[in-house]
Amino acid sequence: MDKPVKTFSAILIACIALFFMAWFRKTCHDFSPSIFYHLGTRTPYRFVQNLDVSEIHYPGCEPIKMWAMVRHGSRKPNVKHVEGYKERLEALREKILVGISQKKCELCGDLKNDFENWQLMEVDRLSSMDLVHEGEDEMLLLGERMQMRFPSILPEKYSRDVYKFRYTATQRTQASAEQFSIGLFGRRESHRVVYPNPLHVDPLLRFYKLCGKWDADVRKSGSSKVEINKFSNSEVMNKVMNKIKKRLNLDSVTFDDLSTMYQVCGFDAAFNHTHTSPWCRVFDDEDIEVMEYYEDLKYYWRDGHGFALNHEQACTAYQDMVAHFTSDEPTKSVFYFSHSGTILKMLSYLNLYKDEMPLLSENFEQQTNRLWRVSKIDAFGTNIAFVLFRCGSELKVLTLHQERPVRIPNCSSEDELCPLDFFSEKVKDCNFESLCSIS
């Protein structure tokens, strides 16, 4: 065969190979790691953490006190939900494996072993919602980073006079506090930390549990569920269900199927960060945005800007912060370990992450760049901290969310430091009993 003919044949074969490779890519669904940044309130903290540990300085100012509210780290699912998760996903898995064996499943790569070997983490009544190893690491490293940024008010030597810690009556917040303390003091010194006995219903760390009006008018009423119910039955959600149905070669996919896969993807991501759950692999970037929006709607109306009472009741937490900052007591730093419902209401109270348009079931397309995105603002390990600075004769407050400075809307200051008077004025008329009593 002449050399030109051989060259042409080689080029032709290469082109055919490239064609089939491109065709295959188009006919199978490959996994996108960006999915991990859109797992709602189950997003592991490693996807939102701030690794810049530079000491924070403001010219002419010195830090003198800190107050922080921290959501517990990554946890196990609720034992009440686990059997439902297993039953639903094991039934789906059998059908998916049939599709894989018949080469009708559109997932890229050989995922047969991943689906066959998948197991939901072990959860029993005693370990329900307990902190997992990922959560321990989140808290320990958070403590280390905070100390590097503010060494003058977070000394490595523990003193009961300098530090105050408190957590709710749950294993996940207790373990979070203990791991955070190890990050601050080291393992040996952390054993000296004194914690008060946790309250079954804590009026400061879980104030909403004592707000009867919120419980009746928001949490238990249908008003907070109107938008999520509409969205779960929307054309946008139906499109995702049809895509997943085709991708996995299933006869049908319900919203409950989708929701279970999404939730378990999040728990699996937190439980084993060295291996990607097969239930995360079923989604593409468009799908995960839709599932995330459902989650954002849920918390927007239950804990966020949807109803005024959601955030008005958070004034009680800020009263405690102002009291700490104006106290003559020697305590420098206060750390509270709480839950998602507390953090979101506190963020809303300061008008943080408030979008121009309310989040509604019909405006998903218009909310692509929304501020209220719980994957970013309420991941496992989420924290909001306030640092009091003395700037000459003035007292000013730095607000940190996810370890990053944020500007407070409506504060008169144009920089990151907001006058303490702003917060004092904001909480002066706070009356929790009046806000929360059922008339």
Domain CATH for 143: 3.40.50.1240
CA angle 111, 117, 119 (to 5 degrees): 120
Distance, CA of 154 to CA of 37 (rounded, Å): 31
CA angle 339, 311, 138 (to 5 degrees): 25
Please list the residues that pair with 332 across neighbouring strands.
none
**Residue 123 domain boundaries:** 43-436
Would residue 7 count as lying in a domain?
A: no
Would residue 5 count as lying in a domain?
A: no
Would residue 13 count as lying in a domain?
A: no
Would residue 3 count as lying in a domain?
A: no
Would residue 1 count as lying in a domain?
A: no
Q: What is the pLDDT of residue 23?
A: 40
Question: Angle 79-101/235-248 helices, nearest 10 degrees?
Answer: 50
Query: For every one of its 439 residues, what pLDDT tens digit does the chain have, with 9 covering 90 and above?
Result: 555 555 555 555 555 544 444 444 446 778 889 999 999 999 999 999 999 999 999 999 999 999 999 999 999 999 999 999 999 999 999 999 999 999 888 888 778 999 999 998 889 999 999 999 999 999 999 999 999 999 999 999 999 999 999 999 999 999 999 999 999 999 999 999 999 999 999 999 999 999 999 999 999 999 999 999 999 999 999 999 999 999 999 999 999 999 999 999 999 999 888 889 999 999 999 999 999 999 999 999 999 999 999 999 999 999 999 999 999 999 999 999 999 999 999 999 999 999 999 999 999 999 999 999 999 999 999 999 999 999 999 999 999 999 999 999 999 777 899 999 999 999 999 999 999 998 7
Q: What is the pLDDT of residue 223?
A: 93
The amino acid at 244: I
Sign of CA dihedral 116, 117, 118, 123: positive
The amino acid at 43: T
Q: What is the pLDDT of residue 429?
A: 95
Whether the predicted model's global pTM rises above the 0.85 cut:
yes
Would residue 19 count as lying in a domain?
A: no
Would residue 16 count as lying in a domain?
A: no
From residue 82, give the alpha-carbon distance in Å to each of 127, 130, 149, 260: 12, 13, 40, 10
Distance, CA of 228 to CA of 225 (rounded, Å): 5
Q: What is the pLDDT of residue 6?
A: 55
- CA-based radius of gyration for the chain: 25
Distance, CA of 427 to CA of 319 (rounded, Å): 6
Distance, CA of 361 to CA of 247 (rounded, Å): 25
114: burial class by Cβ within 10 Å (0-12, 13-18, 19+)? middle
User: Into how many domains does the chain fold?
Assistant: 1
Would residue 383 count as lying in a domain?
A: yes
Q: What is the pLDDT of residue 21?
A: 46
